């Protein structure tokens, strides 16, 4: 098999950075192939702005923004979206409230007006609050005995005790039941402001049209909100193992180690290391050892989680109860081996070839481009990052990976959570 030498390819998108008269930074890509506009935007401060004893407020705000705004109650607002097939959605992450818009170019004016209303004049009508509350609680109940959800919840509880990251973003049945309208209004004021806003737009729009659109939608927002940075915290519980008992034939496993955040100088090396260990392709070490060679699991892998207040490496798999101990042994020994020996030169070269070669695949639809740009902007990486990114990956050397491995994998111990009825632990 021959391995092509990957050229460090050109930027996958021609991005222009604009600061509007209202002072809002927007990254735009011009694309006129398909008659649609995609916009992605992110406000600083998400579920981490919840009170530890009342999680779920930020998410409920996100769910209520399109449930009535300005002169339109929820049903009328949704009807205006549906009549023109405007797709407007809001979501909450640990550190962000995000929004996405997809619209046929000919309906952009109406879409902009509705997005502006959702952000500046959400109604939070009593009927909508009670309906969304009931839907949220039904959703929590629906997943309450799902082993994957149980494992993840326990993982965050063990990993970040006393920190807001320990609480589920969507809240609990009790906390969601207790959320009042004043909680929602206060959270809206904290989160939705111009200062922490990132916007990206892709479509057949001129520069002036983009500027007008952004200032129309976001220009009337208050300058500052009240989001406070999440306190810095390191992953706790490394070296501990807990079991959540649930009567299912297959156990879900979560394992965690230290991580390296986006803004850290070692991030790119950590990213390459994670790809080799458990990145989302069929060639990773865990995929090969856990799945291909031993048939222990359908799904296995690791990912880097980078929050404003924490960074970690989080792994996942699921295997029948009888083989949990074996799966954990294999994972543990692969991590130990990677830490001790590092990747082979060929493995490192192939990992870099994949990561550089596949970067453009994330930029092949308008929606994906808008999301990527908003995320890069949110991480504070700068508009030039997109052009620079493949060179950063290509420059990662064995000693960079070793340094990242030292910081991430440490002595090989993990925070382990198992949900199921594991045998032989």
Partner 1 sequence: MSRSPVRAAPAIVTKAREGVDGDGPAVDSFMLDNGLEVVVAPDRRVPVATHMVWYRNGSADDPVGQSGIAHFLEHLMFKGTEKHPAGEFSKVVSSLGGQENAFTSYDFTAYFQRVAREHLETMMGFEADRMANLALADEVVAPERDVVLEERRMRVETDPGAQLSEAMASALFVHHPYGVPIIGWMHEIEGLNREHALEYYKRFYTPENAILVVAGDVEVDAVRRLAEKTYGRIAPRGAKPQRLRPREPEPRAMRRVTVADSRVEQPLMQRLYLAPSTLTAQGRDAAALEVLGEAIGGGPTAYLYRKLVLEQGVAVNAGAWYMASAVDDTRFAIYAVPAAGTGLEQLEEALDRAVAAIPAEALDDKAVERAKTRLVAETTYAADSQTALARIYGAGLAIGQTIEAVRRWPAEIEAVTREDLASVAQRFLTPRRSVTGQLRKAD
DSSP class of 122:
B
Binding of partner 1 at residue 91 (CB under 8 A)? Answer: no
DSSP element (H, E) containing 208: helix 207-218
Binding of partner 1 at residue 126 (CB under 8 A)? Answer: no
Beta strand 241-245 with 415-420 is: parallel
Which of 53, 182, 223, 364 is in the footprint of partner 1 by CB under 8 A?
A: 364
Which of 17, 19, 21, 134 is in the footprint of partner 1 by CB under 8 A?
A: 134
Q: Name the residue among 288, 222, 265, 289 with its Cα closest to residue 24.
A: 222
Binding of partner 1 at residue 283 (CB under 8 A)? Answer: yes
Is the CB of 135 or the CB of 333 nearer to partner 1? 135
3 state SS of 108: helix
Which of 63, 306, 366, 371 is in the footprint of partner 1 by CB under 8 A?
A: 366
Instruction: Tell me how far CA of residue 222 lies from CA of 201, 219, 240, in angstroms.
Output: 21, 8, 45
Conformational region of residue 304, where left means phi above 0, alpha means psi within -120 to 50, and beta covers everything else: beta
Which residue stretch of 56-64, 109-117, 192-200, 316-324 sits at the interface with partner 1 (rule: CB under 8 A)?
316-324
Residues 158-187 that bind partner 1 (CB under 8 A): none
Task: Quote the CA–CA distance of 398 and 378 in Å, as a whole number.
Answer: 29
Binding of partner 1 at residue 365 (CB under 8 A)? Answer: yes
Q: Name the residue among 144, 154, 166 with its Cα closest to residue 254.
A: 154
Residues 212-231 that bind partner 1 (CB under 8 A): none
3 state SS of 288: helix
Is the CB of 365 or the CB of 375 nearer to partner 1? 365
Which of 56, 57, 61, 102 is in the footprint of partner 1 by CB under 8 A?
A: 102
Which residue stretch of 113-121, 215-223, 330-338, 348-356 sits at the interface with partner 1 (rule: CB under 8 A)?
348-356
Task: Quote the CA–CA distance of 403 and 384 in Å, as a whole number.
Answer: 26
Residues 137-156 that bind partner 1 (CB under 8 A): 137-139, 141-142, 144-147
Bridge partners, residue 199, by sequence: 26, 41
Binding of partner 1 at residue 5 (CB under 8 A)? Answer: no
Is the CB of 4 or the CB of 126 nearer to partner 1? 4
Binding of partner 1 at residue 301 (CB under 8 A)? Answer: yes
Q: Closest approach of Cβ 74 to partner 1, in Å?
A: 8
Q: Closest approach of Cβ 385 to partner 1, in Å?
A: 18
Contacts with partner 1 by CB under 8 A: the residue count is: 77
DSSP element (H, E) containing 251: strand 250-258
Task: Quote the CA–CA distance of 31 and 366 in Å, as a whole number.
Answer: 8
Binding of partner 1 at residue 345 (CB under 8 A)? Answer: no
Binding of partner 1 at residue 343 (CB under 8 A)? Answer: no
Which of 8, 18, 22, 34 is in the footprint of partner 1 by CB under 8 A?
A: 34
Q: Name the residue among 371, 362, 339 with its Cα closest to residue 273.
A: 339
Task: Quote the CA–CA distance of 176 and 178 in Å, as a whole number.
Answer: 5
Q: Closest approach of Cβ 383 to partner 1, in Å?
A: 19
Q: Closest approach of Cβ 401 to partner 1, in Å?
A: 17
Binding of partner 1 at residue 197 (CB under 8 A)? Answer: no
Which of 124, 156, 354, 378 is in the footprint of partner 1 by CB under 8 A?
A: 354
Angle formed at CA 380 by CA 375 and CA 383, multiple of 5 degrees: 75
Q: Closest approach of Cβ 156 to partner 1, in Å?
A: 19
Number of Cβ within 10 Å of residue 243's Cβ equals: 17
Binding of partner 1 at residue 423 (CB under 8 A)? Answer: no
Binding of partner 1 at residue 281 (CB under 8 A)? Answer: yes
Phi then psi for residue 120, to 5 deg, are: -100, -30
**Computed from CA positions of residues 190, 192, 197, 198, in that sequence, does the dihedral angle turn out positive or negative?**
positive
Angle formed at CA 403 by CA 401 and CA 408, multiple of 5 degrees: 90
Which residue stretch of 45-53, 117-125, 284-292, 328-336 sits at the interface with partner 1 (rule: CB under 8 A)?
284-292
Binding of partner 1 at residue 392 (CB under 8 A)? Answer: no
DSSP class of 381:
-
Q: Closest approach of Cβ 185 to partner 1, in Å?
A: 23
């Amino acid at each position: 098999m021959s391995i092509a030498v990957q050229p460090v390819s050109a930027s996958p998108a021609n991005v222009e950075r604009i600061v509007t008269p209202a002072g809002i930074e927007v990254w735009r890509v011009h694309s006129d192939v398909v008659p649609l506009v995609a916009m992605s935007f992110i406000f600083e401060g998400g579920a981490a702005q919840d009170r530890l004893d009342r999680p779920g407020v930020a998410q409920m705000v996100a769910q209520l923004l399109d449930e009535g705004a300005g002169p339109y109650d929820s049903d009328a607002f949704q009807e205006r979206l549906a009549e023109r097939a405007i797709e407007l959605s809001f979501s909450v992450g640990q550190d962000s409230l995000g929004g996405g818009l997809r619209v046929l170019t000919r309906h952009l004016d109406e879409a902009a007006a509705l997005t502006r209303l959702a952000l500046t004049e959400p109604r939070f009508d009593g009927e909508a609050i009670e309906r969304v509350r009931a839907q949220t609680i039904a959703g929590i109940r629906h997943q309450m005995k799902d082993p994957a959800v149980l494992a993840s919840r326990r993982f965050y509880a063990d990993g970040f005790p006393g920190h807001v990251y320990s609480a589920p973003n969507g809240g609990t049945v009790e906390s969601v039941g207790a959320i009042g309208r004043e909680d929602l209004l206060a959270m809206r004021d904290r989160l939705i402001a111009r200062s922490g806003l990132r916007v990206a737009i892709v479509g057949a729009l001129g520069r002036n049209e983009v500027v007008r659109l952004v200032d129309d939608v976001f220009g009337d927002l208050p300058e500052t909100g009240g989001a406070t940075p999440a306190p810095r915290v390191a992953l706790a519980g490394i070296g501990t193992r807990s079991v959540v008992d649930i009567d299912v034939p297959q156990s879900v496993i979560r394992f965690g180690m230290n991580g390296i955040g986006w803004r850290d100088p070692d991030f790119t090396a950590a990213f390459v290391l994670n790809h080799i260990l458990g990145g989302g392709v069929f060639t990773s070490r865990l995929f090969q050892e856990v799945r291909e060679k031993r048939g222990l699991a359908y799904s296995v892998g690791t990912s880097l989680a980078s929050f404003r207040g924490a960074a970690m490496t989080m792994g996942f798999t699921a295997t029948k109860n009888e083989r949990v101990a074996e799966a954990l042994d294999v994972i543990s020994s692969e991590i130990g081996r990677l830490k001790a020996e590092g990747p082979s030169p060929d493995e490192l070269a192939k990992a870099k070839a994949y990561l550089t070669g596949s970067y453009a695949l994330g930029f092949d639809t308008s929606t994906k481009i808008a999301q990527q740009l908003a995320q890069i902007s949110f991480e504070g990486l700068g508009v030039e990052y997109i052009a620079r990114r493949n060179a950063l990956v290509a420059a990662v050397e064995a000693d960079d990976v070793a340094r990242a491995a030292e910081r991430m994998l440490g002595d090989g111990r993990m925070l382990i959570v198992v949900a199921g009825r594991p045998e032989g632990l």
